[in-house]
Amino acid sequence: MAKRQFFYSFHYDNDVFRVQQIRNIGALEENKPVSANEWETVKKGGDAAIKRWIDDNMKYKSCLVVLIGSETASRPWVDYEIRKAWNDGKGVLGIYIHNLKCPRNGKCRQGANPFDNIYFTDGKTKLSSVVKTYNPNSFDAYNDIANNLENWIEAAISAR
């Protein structure tokens, strides 16, 4: 399989250490993480700068991977990224990351499904009815993600 270009969406403050573990899998692409300093600079530019940064970084990606921690579903920029990716016809999937250990806080509680917050134009059908989420094995979440991430991404892209 060809390496895919994809965009990670997550709650930076809560989950950056868990996300870094997933980035270290490295099986798929050179997906450079945003540094804390770079993210602070982007945030200082306000909502327009954040939106521009997201749009620019998502531009040539074929899939959005939402890494779901305890508070991800309540984050407005995660919501924006999901809507943008879906409306742009990209593959979209979610992976629960609460069972990955953070060096600061250990494991966390499972968060809500962020795709439950988005409805199709009928106002009744949730995006979660068509977007697949994965809940890795609680005893070996890292290896479960490492062994399946490529296939999950391919399935999300094929579903679009």
Q: What are the pLDDT digits (tens) for 16-32?
A: 778 788 877 765 555 55
Residue 35 pLDDT level (bands cut at 50, 70, 90): low
pTM to 2 decimal places: 0.88
Q: Is the pLDDT of residue 1 over 70?
A: no
Domains of the chain: 6-159 (3.40.50)
Between 139 and 158, residue with greater pLDDT:
158
Please list the residues that pair with 94 across neighbouring strands: 66, 133
**Cα dist. 100→6, 41, 80, 96 in Å?**
21, 28, 25, 9
| Residues contacting residue 40 through CB under 8 Å, at least 6 positions apart | none
Which range, 13-27, 32-46, 111-125, is most confident? 111-125
- 31-52 as b/e: b if 16+ CB within 10 A: beeeeeeebeebeeeeeeebee
Q: Is the pLDDT of residue 2 over 70?
A: no
Task: Answer for the pair 65, 7: CB distance below 8 angstroms, yes or no.
Answer: yes
